[in-house]
Amino acid sequence: MYALDLNSGKKLWEYETDNQIIGSANWWKEGSVTSIIVGSYDYYLHCVDAKTGKVRWKYESDNFINGAAACSNSKAYFGGCDGFLHIVDIATGKLFKKIDVATYVANSITVDGDKAYIGDYDGRFFQVDIKAEKTSWVWEHETTKLQFIASAALVGNKVLTANHNKFLYCFDKDSGKKLWEYNTGKQVEASPVVVGDKVIIANMRGDLAIVNLSDGKPVWTYEIGGQIINNPAVANGRIYVGAYDGNVYCLGD
């Protein structure tokens, strides 16, 4: 993992783990201390000082950590291939809670207050009540049972995610009721991005789509052609996305 100066591109520091890093890094600031949090295939969640790149602590899980850790209320939340939701104190690296969710979690945890939203490798999407340490509701497709790699997006009373069965889903975040679905046409690993009243979704065929947040109806589609597995980004009214053809695309006015 590297820290680079945004203006010059100069490397400020580097931090080495014992295995590959798959998930993105996150950060948390407490007082004057900013920490970088990242998981690795060495089974550890690493906390690194943002200024120096020096390790502050390492927390050991029982298997690979794939997604980025969510940071909220001075805690880091992450799942992994050990089938647990881990909640770790960012200041100390000590375990706060460890909740059994039964199977592989290959995406990033989404946290809203005392609720967490998780998709797993067995095709379940569910809400975990962190205080009660139990699953509140579970949704799964009647037949496909394919993995959730995309991470969930929360907006208002809605939670959105996408599955390897090609569909983008929108649920009521409190009840788990499916509000709508949109067939993207190919497996999805990139997470949905919500911008205002629209949702941007990309699939592994290389299609980008914008759909209404209210009903999932498409309002715009574009075919890049190279598969997309990472998340689109939006800035100043433009969409930026990288594809497997080796290009980064910018779309907009």
Residue 69 resides in a domain: yes
For residues 136 and 128, give the distance between their C-alpha atoms in angstroms, rounded to a whole number.
Answer: 6
Residue 102 resides in a domain: yes
211: its two tokens: 């759909």
Neighbours of 62 (CB within 10 A): 12
Residue 74 resides in a domain: yes
Residue 209 resides in a domain: no
Residue 52 resides in a domain: yes
Domain span at 15? 2-148
Residue 228 resides in a domain: no
The tens place of each residue's pLDDT in the chain, 253 residues long, gives 999 999 999 999 999 999 999 889 999 999 999 999 999 999 999 999 999 999 999 999 999 999 999 999 999 999 989 999 999 999 999 999 999 998 899 999 999 999 999 999 999 999 999 999 999 999 999 999 999 999 999 999 999 999 999 999 999 999 999 999 999 999 999 999 999 999 999 999 999 999 999 999 999 999 998 999 999 999 999 999 999 999 999 998 7
Residue 246 main-chain phi, psi, to 5 deg: 90, 5
CATH (domain of 57): 2.130.10.10
For residues 5 and 228, give the distance between their C-alpha atoms in angstroms, rounded to a whole number.
Answer: 27
42 secondary structure, DSSP code: T
Name, in order, each residue with C-beta under 8 angstroms of 113's C-beta and a sequence gap of 6 or more: none
Residue 202's closest CA among 172, 170, 226? Answer: 226
- Count of domains observed in the chain: 1
Residue 251 resides in a domain: no
Q: Is the pTM of the predicted complex or chain greater than 0.85?
A: yes
Residue 213 resides in a domain: no
